[in-house]
Amino acid sequence: MLRRLYEWTLSLAAGPKADRALFWVAFTESSFFPLPPDVLLVPMTIARPDRAYYYAILCGVASTLGGLLGYAIGALLYDSVGLWIINLYGYGDKMEAFRHAYAEYGLWIILLKGLTPIPYKLVTIVSGFAGYNVFLFVVLTIISRTLRFLAVAWLLKRYGEPVREFIEKRLEVATILLLAFVVGGFVLVKYVV
């Protein structure tokens, strides 16, 4: 089953609707969706290494636009939708402390968390909730998210064939590593950050 899912993802990655799917996953991940765009970015880049940087820029743009939606949720709908999303991910008890940290370290929080596997939706919603300067938020999001996706694209463009071989030979291990990456981001926020 895992092999069929992998082959389906690769065929989607090389298909005509791949760009659109990648855009929407990156957009929604920055505001409410749990999976990072890497689940499509990686196979798409492996399937089409000549488009690696295009995919990274597409993710950066979509993530920034989705970040604005997350910001709006935090600024305008925190008591209803925003709080519900935050609680859904289990971070409701950390929000007040996170908001206070924005007063002193907002710039660094957005830059550093945008580069990590920590769910970016938490940053976008809290940025709106804390009333962080929206222009600065957009600039920092563009920088951090685009750099993050460009780094993934560069690594895959440079080491794509060995990565593909590893995935195809050890699909179960690769799947566990991807899940660990996703879950690790949530655990980092819950227990460390």
The residue among 48, 37, 14, 46 whose CA lies nearest residue 146 is 37
pLDDT in tens, 148-165: 999 989 988 887 777 667
Q: Where are the domains of the chain?
A: 2-9+35-192
This model's pTM is above 0.85: no
pLDDT in tens, 47-96: 888 999 999 999 999 999 999 999 999 899 888 888 888 787 777 777 77
Between 96-105, 138-147, 183-192, the lowest mean confidence (pLDDT) is in 183-192
Q: Which residues contact 50 (CB under 8 A, 6 or more apart)?
A: none
